[in-house]
Amino acid sequence: MATFWRGTLAMVAMTGVACQLKVEDPDAPNTAPLEAVYDTPPGLFAAANGKQLKEALDKRLALLRTTGNFGSTQGLLDSVSAHEGVLEHGDEVDDMEASRLLAVVDVTHVCRGPEGDDIVDPGRFGTVSMTLKGGLRGIYPVAWGEFDACSDHTVAGPVNIDGTYSMTVRKRATGKDVLFLFQGTIRGGPLNFNGTLDARVLSNGSPELRVNGADGDVVLSVDASGQLLARDRTGLWTCDVVKLECVNTTTGERKAYE
């Protein structure tokens, strides 16, 4: 655990970052229900609504691009977790001694501003805060915090973010998946958002998004060739928007894409 303490304290030297160790044990957001939806979507994919679902996916992907995938929070998390591993799924339940709380860390990062100034000014550009907890095996899976009038910039242009968020990191055979949940407002260019947004970024960098389908939520993504992928309670659907057909890779069922 010593590496966790050293790595955490090293963040104080980062530009625009303040760090504080605490002894309280705050309750992390419970992201288990949302994780369960992404792991096993409860809804049914209706290919007849494929175009509407694809539009919903595109809008949310555009929001993620506008915010740079909320890069400030990912940067904060990476800065700490680079010095210590993340608990594997189930460790906090299966091995209570190994997951015993040893440290609570509060980190605050000053946002960069709309033009990329090197000036560190929370009054002008706002802040992003993050709370993390650490045990014998490293960082706990859930980090959370708040965007407070955060003014930032991405390849899509300037963006302003206000709201709360959580990030849940899980080890997989292929790497680490990050589930992001945000509630608040996003203002940037032609995009204005007010509400709740969640997405899971897989270890290969591909985002998955939850949308409302028939009888519950389904999870959508797009593969490298531009095909729409949909996971529901029956398995994985791949949709060819040229052939206007969706195929369930588990059951072999085919549906017309409309």
Phi, psi of 176 (to 5 degrees): -115, 130
Q: Is residue 125 part of a domain?
A: yes
Q: Average pLDDT of the chain?
A: 77
DSSP state of 43: S
Mean pLDDT lowest among 83-97, 199-213, 231-245:
83-97
Domain count for the chain, please give it: 1
247 part of a folded domain: no
∠37-251-60 over CA atoms, to 5°?
A: 35
Q: Could you tell me if residue 48 is inside a domain?
A: no
Q: What is the pLDDT of residues 106-146, one digit of tens each?
A: 888 888 888 766 777 888 889 888 888 887 767 788 889 99
Q: Residue 63: which H helix or E strand, with range?
A: helix 50-66
Give the pLDDT of residue 177: 86
Say which DSSP state 241 is in: T
**Whole-number percent of the chain with pLDDT over 70:** 74
For residue 93, what are its two tokens? Answer: 């339940």
Which tokens is 17 given?
Answer: 């970052």
Q: What share of the chain is helix, strand, coil (3-state, %, to 5)?
A: 25, 45, 35
**pLDDT score for 18:** 64
> Looking at the domain assignment, is residue 246 inside a domain?
no
Q: Report if residue 154 sits inside a domain.
A: yes
Token digits of residue 194: 């007010």
Q: How far is CA 157 from the centre of its chain?
A: 20
Q: Where are the alpha helices (DSSP H) in 95-131?
A: 122-125
Asked, for residue 57, whether it belongs to a domain, the answer is no
SS (H, E, C) 162-205: EEEEEEEEEEECCEEEEEEEEEEEEEECCEEEEEEEEEEECCCC
Q: Is 103 within the bounds of a domain? A: yes
Measured in degrees and rounded to the nearest 5, phi and psi for residue 177 equal -100, 145
Percent of the chain at pLDDT above 90? 24
Region 234-251: mean pLDDT is: 88
Q: How far apart are CA 170 and CA 197, in angstroms?
A: 19
| Separation between Cα atoms, residue 219 and residue 41, nearest integer Å | 6
What the block records as the tokens of 154 is: 């991405």
What is the band of 94 on the pLDDT scale with cuts at 50, 70, 90? very low
What is the torsion angle, in degrees rounded to the nearest 10, for the CA atoms of residue 149, residue 150, residue 152 and residue 158? Answer: -30
Nearest Cα neighbor of 130 from 22, 33, 31, 34 is 22
Residue 14 CA to residue 210 CA, distance in Å, equals 35
Question: 108 in a domain, yes or no?
Answer: yes
Return the sign of the alpha-carbon dihedral for residues 57, 60, 66, 67: negative
d(CA 220, CA 56): 10
Structural domain harbouring 100: 2-40+65-210
Cβ-contact 127, 148 below 8 angstroms: yes
